[in-house]
Structure 1
Amino acid sequence: MIPKQSAEAGQTGVFPAVSDQDSWPEASSQLLKLMMAKVNSVFIGKSDVVTRMFVALLAGGHVLLEDVPGVGKTLLVRAIARVMGGEFRRIQFTSDMLPADVVGGLVWDGKRGELVFRQGPLMANVVLADEINRTPPRTQSALLEAMGERSVTADGETMQLPQPFMLLATQNPLSDDGTYPLPEAQLDRFMMRLSVGYPSVEDEISMLENGAQRLQPEQLRPVVIPEEWLRMQRDAQSVHVHTSLLGYAVRIAGATRSAPELLLGASPRATRDWVCAAQAAAYVAGRRFVVPDDLKETAQSVLAHRLMMKDEAAAAGLQATELLDRMIAAEPIPAPAGDSSRRRR
């Protein structure tokens, strides 16, 4: 669960104890709790996944949900889009989809007798890219500008996307028939890759018992408007990060770039996203400062999908998540100021 604060992290110095002045206004905290509670009422038994989703979105990032079919990936995104407010659009990716189907383009208007620009489904606040890896790389690449610059270019004209803009994509495992791997440049633009997983026995029984009476995403009412969500994002991005923790993040990212088992390590954008995610995790916890646990708890979701294993390491059965765990365990965590003799693992 994100995030948790250890007793050592609450000491004075670099990681101070929480006081009334260090927490966020009650209104913002209550809105965030209400949003997550509403999503959890629809997406049962996966509160940790819901929390991570909100952490990524508060940090201004995009999320890739990767899992087997039928575990509720699309349901989760629809529920989040409802409580967010603003405009929501869904793109069902297929093998015959073209870039113009995503970003828009010129179409002939018979009444006006001229070509007019038709906006694509990307022109929305929350966009669901459903089964993104079922469309060829050419169409996948149409999302790169939108994810990186929050704009789209069609027929030589560049248009800014609505603010906030959040792309929530789902994909099935790459071993499935009819899927295409996402290019590295696109994976690097996803702040987090998350897996939903199967529900527990109790949650699955509850789902079957409720049946048709189960609450649907369309029954949820928006909790905030886009302007309020933008304010919450700005608050999350203003959370204090001590210089020693920035150095900690940079050293781990640097270790991935020089690791002999990796063909591709974490980019500077990955380091930035990791710090932003830690800030958002602290915001969700109600703190105005980042503690080491915020970085540790978000590391796998933010970094692992950006690491490319060498063939020999993959053949030996080594996973990127396992390698990342080793690097994090090997790097000493900065101790609170005034206690340089102690390091926490």
Structure 2
Amino acid sequence: MKKAVLAIAALAACTSSAWAQSSVTLYGIVDAAARYYTNTDGASNLAPKQLVPGGMSQSRLGVNVTEDMGGGLKALVNMEHRLNSDTGTVAAADFWRQVWVGLQSNDFGQVRMGRQYNVLFDIYTSTYASFRYSPYIEAFKPEIVMSAGARQSNMVKYLGQVGDVYGEIQVSAGENTVSADKSIGGLLRYNDGTWGAGGAYLQVTDIAGRKMKATTVGASYTSGPLYAHVSWANNKFDAGTGVLQAGFTAGWGFGPQLTAAASSVSTRDMWMTGLTYQLTPQLNLGANYWHTTQAAAVGTGLPDSKADQLAFVADYAFSKRTDAYFEADNTRFSSGGAIRFSNGATSRTGVMVGLRHRF
């Protein structure tokens, strides 16, 4: 009997020890903003006055799991759900916007498998983000339109670091589905705390074998309260890549567009630059500018399109977790009439005031 009791006690001790080496963290963001648009057609999806479910950040709920297995080896899990804070509904068809499992070694880097952010999104948000305190504006994000959907399913990703140099390689299996998730790409970046620089390349293939190729390079500088960045990005589309073109074009103008070029794009180039200044410990001011040119495919007879976009943000931190913000943005098209908003306008301004809490 004593032996049985001792065995059970030993097993319980081992189990407690194993649990002590694991951690499960619940995290999230709840963001909501009152937003106003000029030059809208009054349609339900573009009413001039809205409560948007994510002004600076999309609202989300996530779980991080880490298990320290000893010897410098860890198991990792991430599950992240995006939600609409204004209605409580699901933000996208994929309930888990990220869901992956991985292994991390102190000597050999990290491997992740599952649906996750692609290398274009990673380089934008880590190396030359739009703003120092928020990598981009959720309600107005031209650079993310250039990132091939920002995520891919069925992905295997390797991440490694040597000193201040970081690298990633991703491969996604298309699995013969209609979604544009077959991909291969990589990134290389440098960051020493003051200077950041890097680039990424991603090729996405649709079910018919037609390709979209994306490239981006850029740099950033951080010194005290000042943060500045500049970058260039290019998307090239094979003829007939309707799924890729429509999906990666829709968000460019931030509202319905009357444009045959949406499914006939040949190339798109975007220059982005901006700066953030921390005026006080609580107050950050930032401005960002995007200049985009878009060429239609040969034979369409459509002229080239241009867009100039500008955004200004003032963010006030009540605490480390809660902040309020004011944002204003403007989009102007120049395209000989080939691309414009659904009510015929070639310009649109957005203004919003929001509140965000991170936990």
State the TM-score, normalized to the length of structure 2: 0.26
Point out which structure has higher relative CO (alpha carbons under 8 A, 6+ apart). 1
Higher strand proportion, which one?
A: 2
**Which structure has the greater CA radius of gyration?**
2
Higher helix proportion, which one?
A: 1
